[in-house]
Amino acid sequence: AGDPIRRGRSFAVGAARDLGVGPRALAVVELLASELITNAVKFGGPDGVVGVTVRADGSLLRIEVSDGSRRSPVVDPDRPAHL
């Protein structure tokens, strides 16, 4: 079992490393994956299932996080404009 956010973040970083991402960019991958996975865990569907996919897309790295929710993400209207 363990912490799903930690497991997902570790998976994303390991997959990115396997795809040849360097150490500096891996720090960004770790932060972005952590944020995306945290949101999926916090706001996802009732089953709590979160999926993480990491793949190379040309010269870019694509990180996809899915959850069991049927609702589309929405921006919080109280969120500061600079975020």
Rounded average pLDDT per 10-residue block, the chain, 83 residues: 85 97 95 93 83 93 91 80 67
List, as own/partner pairs, every contact residues 1-10 make where C-beta atoms lie below 8 angstroms and the sequence separation is at least 24, other chains included: 4/37, 4/41, 4/48, 4/50, 5/34, 5/37, 5/38, 5/41, 8/33, 8/37, 8/50, 8/52, 8/65, 9/33, 9/34, 9/37
Q: What is the pLDDT of residue 25?
A: 94
